[in-house]
A and B are shown apart, each in its own frame.
Chain A
Amino acid sequence: MYTFSSKLKTFSFILMALGLLGIGYGFYTAPKDIQEVEKILAAQSHGGHGEAAHEASMPTEASHEATAVDTDVIKGDAAVAVLTTEDTTKVTEEVQIEPISAQPIVKKESHVVSEEEAHAEHLNHVLHQLQNKPWSAFYVACIFFMLISLGVLAFYAIQYVSQAGWSPVLFRVMQGITAYLPVGSVIFFIFLVLSGLHLNHLFVWLDPEVVATDKLIANKSGYLNFPFWIIRAAIFLIGWNLYNYYTRKNCLAQDESNDNSNYKKNFNISAIFLVFFIVTESIMSWDWIMSIDPHWFSTLFGWYVFSSFFVSAITTIALVTLYLKSKGVLEFVNTSHIHDLAKFMFGFSVFWTYLWFSQFVLIWYANIPEEVTYFITRIEVYNLPFFAAVVMNFVFPLLILINTDFKRITWVLVMAGIVILMGHYLDFFLMIMPGTVGDQWFIGVSEIASVLFFLGLFIYVVFTALTKAPLLPKRNPFIDESKHFHY
């Protein structure tokens, strides 16, 4: 039996406390109305010209980089505008925060009115983005950790169905990680309900005003409407959690039984789960991630999301296994088991890249305007994270994990694992943030705090679950083979 070390427990509590504080701070400092946004933007654009002092408030820093890019465009616009008016100072001030102003305007009066209207619209837009920021940060971390435990569940089911001879010694570790699924599902579901109650603007199609004016979204409302969406979410989450509950129950019952009936039951429900999983996973990715950008669609998106959280899940199994092994509680896990996990990490990192590139290159190559905006936003506004994700999720693991000897060295694996997990967090960040906060993104207090909170919760739940059952299944038909596995 494993005992949850008090140090790790305290560590997880500290993470959760820090995370909660940071999340609270993120919500507290989000702007409440247009006036605040105006102040923030004014401070930013002055900062962009290097005139005024930088305000130390969080959202300022958050969008600082993005506005720096914007101001270049705006300067160009300003040059045009200056020629058309006498009131130079006023116009440049307006123009600094108003990108759409390049139309030639004859009358000064009409010019000012149109600018003010557009300005107000722009402020409203930025206000929504800044208000979305703490919500999106929470959402990315929430869905990331929930999908990791879902990925572990899928990996576990595959191991059962394929009757793998190497992995049964790791089943209890996997079950420990999937114990996070019910907790994560509840938080996630509450978040979806709150979005449905219009507490945030993450899913624009949930806003009836948007649907009324947007024909493209209105045409999708047969699928994208709140009741149907939330019922789907409930079915998916309940289905996954039911499998999670019963497979563990059967696995524990198998320890005490005299025949293999529990094992066979688990085999059957695992096969059924995998069918259910691949259908629901696909729909889940449309509902929870792709619908953030309701004008955009991609057919391999479900697989892409799957590959991203699946490789993170395998990495998490490897990291938890290495931790438990270092504590000396996994007697029968040898370097060959670790080697196998590392091969999966390597293989699925490449698989992720394959799907990432396939999705990107098909859209880039054809360059159809309705599809390509998705990547234009990401490359122009999220340039560094967009390409950093490829380096972290592909180039780094490719070069590190290609070596057979390295796949057995703990510190190499831990390092590669941490980079892969951070890379895939970034991947989810890139799937969600551009549609919700746009150019106001930043990896600041809100984002880091949300990750810390969920990491703390994850560690607490997972390691608590690991203490509940012996770490070696007793009567699994493949357990002897697994104990003596060597590669």
Chain B
Amino acid sequence: MSNKVIYAFYNDDDILMDAVKKTRAAHHHIEEVFCPFPVHGLDKAMGLAPTRLAICSFIYGCIGLSFAVWMMNYIMIQDWPQDIGGKPSFSYIENMPSFVPIMFELTVFFAAHLMVITFYMRSRLWPFKEAENPDVRTTDDHFLMEVAIKGNEEEMVSFFQNTGAVEVKVIDKH
């Protein structure tokens, strides 16, 4: 069975939003929407689940903090507790204030960098990755909605033409 999709092009984000709402109401499955810039509220209109990136970041921050505490406890207190300028290195807590800047920075470092890497991995972004945009205009001034065809093809095409699309294409996707 051929895997056909409809490419519906729009040239305004308001029209796109309306089209997305209509498409969802008509129970057509939206595969993807390509936009040249973020459209506020599009994720809600499409019914996408909220991101969990912030939760990841919090966990990474906790790991960073633990790493900083472990590292400085090992180096400064356990391994070689020298007297450096009279700072008390008898226990971690006694010299804790001088470790706080590092604890803070490592927390931020881990939280930020690991979150960014998580983002790249989850959205499959890396150098030399082949671009996936189905039409070059989607990076400039056109919005594209990709919908899988199920049932009557002509009916669907006319449905999308009525949603304000400037162009509707049927593509055989492999």
Is A183 part of the contact surface with B, judged by Cβ < 8 Å? no
Q: Is the CB of B98 within 8 A of A357?
A: no
Q: Is the CB of B100 within 8 A of A361?
A: yes
Which residue from chain B places its CB closest to the CB of A362 in the assembled complex? Answer: B97
Which residue from chain A places its CB closest to the CB of B50 in the assembled complex? Answer: A404
Is B127 part of the contact surface with A, judged by Cβ < 8 Å? no
Which residue from chain A places its CB closest to the CB of B97 in the assembled complex? Answer: A361
Is B58 part of the contact surface with A, judged by Cβ < 8 Å? yes
Interface residues of A in 344-369 (CB under 8 A from B): 357, 360-361, 364-365, 367
| Residue of A361, A402, A404 touching B98 (CB-CB under 8 A) | A361
Query: In the complex, what residues of B have CB within 8 A of residue A367's CB?
Result: 86
Query: In the complex, what residues of A have CB within 8 A of residue B86's CB?
Result: 367
Interface residues of B in 72-100 (CB under 8 A from A): 86, 97-98, 100
CA distance A357 to B54 in the complex (A): 26
Q: Is the CB of B58 within 8 A of A357?
A: no
Least CB distance from A379 to B in Å reads 11
Query: In the complex, what residues of B have CB within 8 A of residue A364's CB?
Result: 97
Query: In the complex, what residues of A have CB within 8 A of residue B97's CB?
Result: 357, 360-361, 364-365
Interface residues of A in 393-413 (CB under 8 A from B): 402, 404
Query: In the complex, what residues of A have CB within 8 A of residue B58's CB?
Result: 402
CA distance A360 to B58 in the complex (A): 27
Q: Is the CB of A365 within 8 A of B100?
A: no
Which residue from chain A places its CB closest to the CB of B86 in the assembled complex? Answer: A367
Size of the chain B interface, CB-CB below 8 angstroms: 6
CA distance A360 to B98 in the complex (A): 11
Most buried by A among B86, B97, B98, B100: B97
Size class of the contact patch on chain A = under 10
CA distance A367 to B98 in the complex (A): 12
Residue-wise, chain B 95-112 has the 8 Å CB interface mask toward A (1 for contact) of: 001101000000000000
CA distance A379 to B21 in the complex (A): 61
Query: In the complex, what residues of B have CB within 8 A of residue A357's CB?
Result: 97, 100
Least CB distance from A71 to B in Å reads 25
Least CB distance from B10 to A in Å reads 25
CA distance A365 to B84 in the complex (A): 12
CA distance A369 to B24 in the complex (A): 71
CA distance A167 to B97 in the complex (A): 38
Residue-wise, chain B 43-55 has the 8 Å CB interface mask toward A (1 for contact) of: 0000000000010
Interface residues of A in 168-186 (CB under 8 A from B): none
CA distance A364 to B100 in the complex (A): 13
Least CB distance from B60 to A in Å reads 14
Which residue from chain B places its CB closest to the CB of A404 in the assembled complex? Answer: B54
Least CB distance from A3 to B in Å reads 39
CA distance A364 to B97 in the complex (A): 8
Interface residues of B in 8-60 (CB under 8 A from A): 54, 58
CA distance A463 to B100 in the complex (A): 43
Query: In the complex, what residues of A have CB within 8 A of residue B98's CB?
Result: 361, 365
CA distance A402 to B107 in the complex (A): 15
Least CB distance from B113 to A in Å reads 19
Query: In the complex, what residues of A have CB within 8 A of residue B54's CB?
Result: 404
Least CB distance from A310 to B in Å reads 22
Query: In the complex, what residues of A have CB within 8 A of residue B100's CB?
Result: 357, 361
CA distance A361 to B100 in the complex (A): 9
Query: In the complex, what residues of B have CB within 8 A of residue A404's CB?
Result: 54
CA distance A357 to B96 in the complex (A): 12
Least CB distance from A277 to B in Å reads 30
CA distance A367 to B97 in the complex (A): 12
Interface residues of B in 54-68 (CB under 8 A from A): 54, 58
Query: In the complex, what residues of B have CB within 8 A of residue A365's CB?
Result: 97-98
Q: A357-B97, A357-B100, A360-B97 are in contact. List 9 more A-B contacts (CB 8 A).
A: A361-B97, A361-B98, A361-B100, A364-B97, A365-B97, A365-B98, A367-B86, A402-B58, A404-B54
Residues of B within 8 A of A (CB): 54, 58, 86, 97-98, 100
12 contacts between A and B (CB under 8 A): A357-B97, A357-B100, A360-B97, A361-B97, A361-B98, A361-B100, A364-B97, A365-B97, A365-B98, A367-B86, A402-B58, A404-B54
